[in-house]
Structure 1
Amino acid sequence: MALTVQQIRQDVADVLGEDPTDIPDDEDLGDHGLDSVRLMSLVEWWRREHAAEISFVDLAERPAIEVWAALMGAHA
């Protein structure tokens, strides 16, 4: 199942304990409390549930939903 931008935002919100509407697509997710442990859990989840071919390093280098969506080929 392909990821969508909305699904990425929802998954990020879930690991951060925030409302998805509070997480902008273009902001650094580290500023919202995303740390390496939470990021690794997202990477594993997306690999397992969505067959996403992503690496921790790729996502950690530019932690923003819009960048991740492009890397993962997510649909709007």
Structure 2
Amino acid sequence: MTAPKTPSVVLDWGDSRHWSAKSRPCEYCPGLTHLLDDEGRPAHKTCAEAAAAAAAVAVVDAYRQEGAWAR
């Protein structure tokens, strides 16, 4: 069995609700950003995409540990 590829995630932040006039620290890195995630938290788009991909990998890993992957 081959391991699945790391997923890539592309978020659509094209509307104005993902923009803040005030620059704040990103949730995921020490940089400042004007961008907001879906929950309104400050986050760079690339940081949020990397976090979403990592979360998907964690779900797959948990699924594998349950033994359901091999079925």
More helix by share: 1
Q: TM-score range by the shorter chain?
A: under 0.3
Q: What is the TM-score with the length of structure 2 in the denominator?
A: 0.28
Q: What is the TM-score with the length of structure 1 in the denominator?
A: 0.26
More strand by share: 2
Greater relative contact order, per chain length (Cα 8 Å cut-off, separation 6+): 1
